[in-house]
Structure 1
Amino acid sequence: MQMQIETEVEILDKTIETELKKLVVYNDDINTFDWVIDTLMTVCRHSNEQAEQCTLIIHYKGKCSVKEGEFDELAGMRNEICRRGISAEIH
């Protein structure tokens, strides 16, 4: 039986790189807790508990990474969150 040994280059060639980005939502003095929670549930498909926890982190820490994924996936979410009057960026 012949053993097949892969070199690092061969392994790297087989690896598909996807750079994960983070969707970060920022605190403000305008939006209510309920509005942010509803937005995270609707746009990011968070559970109620997850949305509440993220909203508390946003309030007390000033920002929270609410979703992680590929840029193309997060861009639509960011646009909808901003359309709802909430500040968000992709990092």
Structure 2
Amino acid sequence: MSKTKTWEHADEDVVVLEEHELIVFNDDVNTFDHVIQTLMEVCDHTPEQAEQCTLIIHYKGKCSVKQGAFEKLKPMRDAICDRGISAEVS
């Protein structure tokens, strides 16, 4: 689910930015440490952020770990998936 932000500036065109979410899903394969390390390395999370996201992933089944432009999030999703963790950009 993407969010749309609109800014209007006097005497300028309207700028519309579409915000996307990078969502990571729970599985029964990867360890907490592996997911935490991945979020720190790929998403530039602090250890505390990565641990909190990992707990949410575990207990809720998924977590939005990053928001932004699709072009920014897609390489992160690819890197997470390359490490054997399920993720998508929505």
TM-score band, normalised by shorter chain: 0.7 to 0.9
**For residue 56 of structure 1, what is the aligned residue in structure 2?**
55
TM-score normalized with structure 2 length: 0.86
One-letter amino acid of the counterpart of residue 65, structure 1: S
Moved over 2 A (4+): none
CA RMSD of aligned residues (A): 1.7
Higher strand share: 2
**Residues 1:36 and 1:10: Cα distance change in structure 2 (over 3 Å):** closer
Shift of 1:10: 7.7
Count of equivalent residues: 83
Structure 1: which amino acid aligns with 2:73? L
* Structure 1 unmatched runs, 5+: 1-8
TM-score by length of 1: 0.86
Structure 2 gaps of 5+ residues are 1-7
Give the fraction of aligned pairs with identical amino acids, expressed as a percent.
61
Larger gyration radius, structure 1 or structure 2: 1
